[in-house]
Structure 1
Amino acid sequence: MLLMNTDNRPSVACLSGRRVVDVLDSLGAHTVLLDDPAPLELAARADVPLDLDLGDWGAVEKALRAQHADRPLEGVFTVYDAHLPLASYAAARIGVRGLGLPAALACHDTARLRMTLTAGGVRTPVSLPVADPADARAAARRLGLPVVVRRAVGRGRLRCRDLDGVKRAAELLGPAALLVERFTEGPEYAVQSLTVDGVTEVVCVLAQHTGPGPAQIETGYDHPGGLDPARETELKEFCVRALAAIGFDHGVSHIRVRLTEDGPEILDVAARPPGGQLCAAVERVSGIDLTRAAAEIALGRPVTRRPPAASHVLYRCVTFGAPGRIAFDPRGLAAPGVWLDVEPGDRVRAADDPAGGTYGRIVLYGDDPAELDSAYHSLHDSLGLRVEPDPQ
Structure 2
Amino acid sequence: MLLMNTDLTADTRPSVACVSGRRVVDVLSRLDVRSVLLDNPTPLDLACQVDVPLDVDLDDWDAAEAALRWLHAGRPLDAVFSVYDAHLPLASYLAARLGTRGLDLQAALACHDKIRMRMVLTSGGVRVPDHLPAADPADAAAAAQRLGMPAVPVVVKKATGSGGRGSMLCRNPEDVARAVELFGPGALLVERAVEGPEYAVQSITSDGRTEVVGILAQHVGPGPRQAETGYDFPSGLGPERESEVASFVTRALAVLGFDHAVSHTQVRLTADGPVLINVAARPPGGQLCAATERVSGIDLTRAAAEIALGMPVTRGTPTATRVLYRCVTSENPGTAWYDLDGIDAPAVTLDVEPGDSVRSVDDPDGGSYGRIVVYGDDPAELESRYRAIFESLRLHVEPDHQQVMLP
Same fold (TM over 0.5): yes
1:321 to 326, 331, 342: 331
From the superposition, tell whether residues 244 and 46 of structure 1 become closer, same or farther in structure 2 (CA, over 3 Å): same
| Alignment root-mean-square deviation, CA | 1.5
What is the rounded CA distance, in whole Å, between the counterparts of 1:56 and 1:133 in structure 2? 27
2:332 matches 1:345 = no
1:258 corresponds to? 268
2:65 corresponds to? 61
> How far off is 1:133 after superposition?
2.1
1:389 corresponds to? 399
What is the rounded CA distance, in whole Å, between the counterparts of 1:315 and 1:24 in structure 2? 28
What amino acid maps onto 1:287 in structure 2? G
2:144 corresponds to? 140
2:102 corresponds to? 98
Output aligned runs, 1:201-216, within 5 Å.
201-216=211-226
Identity %: 67
Unaligned ranges ≥5, structure 2: 1-5, 402-407
1:204-235 C-alpha deviation (Å, 9 max, x unpaired):
10000111111011111100000000000000
From the superposition, tell whether residues 182 and 243 of structure 1 become closer, same or farther in structure 2 (CA, over 3 Å): same
> How far off is 1:60 after superposition?
1.2
Please say if residues 325 and 390 of structure 1, whose CA atoms lie closer than 8 Å, have aligned partners that are also in contact: no
1:124 corresponds to? 128
What is the rounded CA distance, in whole Å, between the counterparts of 1:198 and 1:175 in structure 2? 36
The TM-score with structure 2 as length reference comes to 0.93
What is the rounded CA distance, in whole Å, between the counterparts of 1:294 and 1:3 in structure 2? 28
From the superposition, tell whether residues 34 and 206 of structure 1 become closer, same or farther in structure 2 (CA, over 3 Å): same
1:268 to 270, 278, 287: 278
What is the rounded CA distance, in whole Å, between the counterparts of 2:323 and 2:217 in structure 1? 10
2:201 matches 1:187 = no
What amino acid maps onto 2:138 in structure 1? A
| Partner SS, residue 103 of structure 2 | coil
> How far off is 1:10 after superposition?
1.1
Output aligned runs, 1:152-171, within 5 Å.
152-155=159-162, 156-171=166-181
> How far off is 1:276 after superposition?
2.1
What is the rounded CA distance, in whole Å, between the counterparts of 2:181 and 2:10 in structure 1? 59
What is the rounded CA distance, in whole Å, between the counterparts of 1:42 and 1:51 in structure 2? 12
What amino acid maps onto 1:381 in structure 2? E
2:54 matches 1:35 = no
| Partner SS, residue 336 of structure 1 | helix
2:290 to 259, 270, 280: 280
What amino acid maps onto 2:233 in structure 1? H
Please say if residues 16 and 77 of structure 2, whose CA atoms lie closer than 8 Å, have aligned partners that are also in contact: yes
What is the rounded CA distance, in whole Å, between the counterparts of 2:70 and 2:136 in structure 1? 42
From the superposition, tell whether residues 373 and 4 of structure 1 become closer, same or farther in structure 2 (CA, over 3 Å): closer
What amino acid maps onto 2:327 in structure 1? C
Please say if residues 148 and 158 of structure 1, whose CA atoms lie closer than 8 Å, have aligned partners that are also in contact: yes
1:13 corresponds to? 17
1:150-197 C-alpha deviation (Å, 9 max, x unpaired):
100012100011111111111111212111110011000000000011
2:82 matches 1:78 = yes
What is the rounded CA distance, in whole Å, between the counterparts of 1:349 and 1:40 in structure 2? 33
| Partner SS, residue 331 of structure 1 | coil
1:25 corresponds to? 29
Please say if residues 332 and 361 of structure 2, whose CA atoms lie closer than 8 Å, have aligned partners that are also in contact: yes
1:231 to 233, 238, 241: 241
2:252 corresponds to? 242
1:253-288 C-alpha deviation (Å, 9 max, x unpaired):
000110012210111100000112110000000000
1:345-365 C-alpha deviation (Å, 9 max, x unpaired):
111111111211111000011
2:385 corresponds to? 375
Please say if residues 333 and 340 of structure 1, whose CA atoms lie closer than 8 Å, have aligned partners that are also in contact: no
| Partner SS, residue 96 of structure 1 | coil
1:61-83 C-alpha deviation (Å, 9 max, x unpaired):
11221111111111000000000
What is the rounded CA distance, in whole Å, between the counterparts of 2:270 and 2:231 in structure 1? 19
What is the rounded CA distance, in whole Å, between the counterparts of 1:242 and 1:274 in structure 2? 18
2:322 corresponds to? 312
> How far off is 1:19 after superposition?
2.6
The TM-score with structure 1 as length reference comes to 0.97
